[in-house]
Amino acid sequence: MATVRFYRGELLLGVTEVNPEIPLIELAEAIGVDIPRNCTSGNCGTCMCRLKSGEVILPEILPAGIDEDYIEDGAILTCIGFAKDSVDIDLIPPL
């Protein structure tokens, strides 16, 4: 079973099963992990987190809340990101 694990630094906050049709922020919310959000469309960057391991699918055309430089540093937007397989997400953004 593929899983999504949510961390704050080294502290494990929660684990849930991957659902490639549900954004990461909704998976987190379903298990009581709070990720700040505002626009839910990728434009504000409020839900930016760090991908520790695995692969997250983001839209081909990136919205204003993220760019290639952030992605190279491990950033993802959880409101528009979908887990492809097992992933580890750190709620502390790579800023």
For the stretch 37-56, pLDDT in tens is 999 899 999 999 999 999 99
Q: Where are the domains of the chain?
A: 3-90
Please, are residues 90 and 49 in contact by the beta-carbon 8 Å criterion?
yes
Length of the chain: 95
Q: What is the largest CA-CA distance in the chain?
A: 33
Pairing of strands 87-90, 3-8: parallel
Q: How far apart are CA 82 and CA 25, in angstroms?
A: 9
Q: What superfamily in CATH does domain 3-90 come from?
A: Beta-grasp domain (3.10.20.30)
Kindly report, residue by residue over 11-39, the tens digit of the pLDDT.
999 999 999 999 999 999 999 999 999 99
pTM for this one?
Answer: 0.94
